[in-house]
Amino acid sequence: FQHNWQVGNEYTYLVRSRTLTSLGDLSDVHTGILIKALLTVQAKDSNVLAAKVWNGQYARVQQSMPDGWETEISDQMLELRDLPISGKPFQIRMKHGLIRDLIVDRDVPTWEVNILKSIVGQLQVDTQGENAVKVQVPTDDEPYASFKAMEDSVGGKCEVLYDIAPLSDFVIHRSPELVPMPTLKGDGRHMEVIKIKNFDNCDQRINYHFGMTDNSRLEPG
The domain segmentation of the chain, as residue ranges, is 1-124, 126-220
Residue of 85, 109, 11 whose CA lies nearest to 51: 11
Check: CB of residue 50 under 8 Å from CB of residue 42.
yes
pLDDT above 90 (res 214): no
pLDDT above 70 (res 38): yes
pLDDT above 50 (res 1): no
Check: CB of residue 114 under 8 Å from CB of residue 154.
yes
pLDDT at 8: 85
Task: Give me the CATH topology for the region 1-124.
Answer: Lipovitellin-phosvitin complex; beta-sheet shell regions (2.30.230)
Percent of the chain with pLDDT strictly greater than 90: 30
Mean pLDDT for 154-181 is: 85
Percent of the chain with pLDDT strictly greater than 70: 82
Check: CB of residue 131 under 8 Å from CB of residue 147.
no
| Amino acid type, 144 | Y
pLDDT above 50 (res 44): yes
* DSSP 8-state class, residue 167: P
Q: Is 53 exposed, middle or buried (0-12, 13-18, 19+ CB in 10 A)?
A: buried
For 89-147, how does the pLDDT look when each residue is reduced to its tens digit (9 = 90+)? 999 998 777 788 999 999 999 999 999 998 988 887 766 655 555 555 555 566 677 87
Phi, psi at 69, each rounded to 5°: -55, -30
For 21-32, how does the pLDDT look when each residue is reduced to its tens digit (9 = 90+)? 888 888 999 999
